[in-house]
Structure 1
């Protein structure tokens, strides 16, 4: 078998690994950036509009005695926006891990969607990660010692949701893109995986700083939403040396939501599901 390069373990590293986490100003992105810093990585942080949130994330990263760099990223301005990966890699000296976390969505019925909305969601949730992944992978290949790319998708990578047509299309596409990337980048020691969160208590779901242990969700087997740190823990595993033989997979972090399927359907008592 060919001796492919692989992402080095802690004892083999000759440098501090660098991670770039897009959309790290809050929620899953912030939790991931802080977790990777706690695991010994310097972190590049991007934000769209919440510069204060990004600065707060950077402060937490520095609280773990790690370097942080912050940059604005608007994935509706493609392809140029992806250059932020090069900029952060230059500032921090390299890139070993990319977490494509930045995302957006819509709660609009299919028949009411306009082209501009569809294009915006597809650019942010699919084309942006595609281009950012290319940039990061080229750096990793030039560095010569492998790397990690983690694409944050959604349970809607796997199952549809009424009112979320472009979001589901983008996340489903990102899931299959993850598999193609995994195949093509394997020879360079770069693994590519997806993490598919369910309902997580974040600003995107209107539950920022919610104590998830006090919230009841009857339709989720574990009975509650997830905490962003629970998603970050899975991302951190996939970004680390212990996941060296894991690639092309999608990891659901959803409290068992995806397993409900017909169970959920057979227990619905109204037609309220027909509207976003």
Structure 2
């Protein structure tokens, strides 16, 4: 999200400079520009994606326990308490891997419009970013909340907005959330055989990674995406153990993903993907 705001800011600066150079009454232009930007920035903080950073949260109340701060629609205290119990369980699931409880601001959205204005995909149950968790009231299991928490925790641990490609970020989040309901190995084997297996999954990374991911979901490949990435990360955990994977994640603080992956596991992402694909292709186990 920070990259998106940065891109928007650069566009606004460029457009403002262009307008300033073209206008004849430069003083009037600067005054109008200042007023317009003040209104826009104020709206972003009060009602938009920067809501969680605003000191004034109109229509919302606050419930705080430990490292979790929940912003919920005023008057919904019973719902907020129920959500807080889920959040605490999800935080413990994350702590078992990340070994720390990072500050966790959470915004409770009531509608698709709320999700959109808070900067999240409107049709999902929730999203996690370096800024906060945005979750839909009544639409998130504890496992899914743990999944979204992992996105923020990964960013907090590594100090990077985009520390990993989508396959690892999403797969790790699903593994922490124990979200094994999407695909079993034998089911993914059928997807591989029938052409639904996502062979370009390593290409979903960087600024364009999330749009590509969302496009796949809109094409009806959500279950395959989440199931495949979960099983890819589970394969790493099963083969190397949790401590090895944790040490790899910690190494992302000072190394890019490709270098850290090679140093930790002795192979490139492409070689790992080939090994995992071969494992799925030759899988002979029973559904578990």
Alignment TM-score, normalising by the size of structure 2: 0.28
* Structure whose residues are more often strand by fraction: 1
* Structure whose residues are more often helix by fraction: 2
Alignment TM-score, normalising by the size of structure 1: 0.29
